[in-house]
Amino acid sequence: MKISECTNAPQWLKDAITSNADVEISVYGWVNWRGGDFLGGNFRGGDFRGDFLGGSFRGGNVRGNFLGGDFLGGNFLGGDFLGKFLGGDFLGGNFRGDFLGGKVKGNAALKLRAYKNLYSHQVTAALLSDGTRWIQMGCLWKSLEEWDKIGIRKSNLLSYPDDGSERSEERVAAFEFAKAAALRMKA
């Protein structure tokens, strides 16, 4: 429903700059963003689905595209992220931006780099606050120590058999790229 039609819309939402907003206000006062563009202001809680194009996001869950502004808390669950990540939990999606603090899959992190198009899935390199380095290859999220034990070539034989094929070698090259990036990260 349009923001102007919501009798219980909080003031921050009324003050926000939006386009084609479709929202629902829960009985607890959380704003569930169903669609449209959030162009400016401070999003302060609830579920966000759609395009966030500016302002500050201060809580809730994002399932869409975050294309500008500051992410200060909540969970990023999927979509494209381009902005400043200052806190919260990055759980999945395509990350391009500045990671300035927060969590990656529940782990406190210092640095994060995500890469698209290295192979058929997203690749992420991270330096956690405990000093460990982690690599995500598609759905597999492991420390470098774990990767070294199993090896990239043996980590997903059903989808990527170690057969010297272009598909398999492309995945190995993507892993080596991410591993080098993780090893270069400094606290």
Token output for 127: 């330096």
Look at residue 68 in the predicted model and tell me its pLDDT: 85
Look at residue 133 in the predicted model and tell me its pLDDT: 98
Look at residue 126 in the predicted model and tell me its pLDDT: 96
Token output for 175: 């892993």
Token output for 181: 């990036």
Look at residue 180 in the predicted model and tell me its pLDDT: 98
Number of H helices, E strands in the chain: 3, 20
> Rounded to whole angstroms, how far apart are CA atoms 104 and 34?
25
pLDDT averaged over consecutive 10-residue blocks of the chain (187 residues)?
90 91 85 87 84 84 85 86 89 86 91 91 94 95 97 96 96 98 95
CA distances from 88 to 47, 99, 181 (A): 14, 11, 23
Overall pTM > 0.85: no
Which amino acid belongs to residue 16?
A
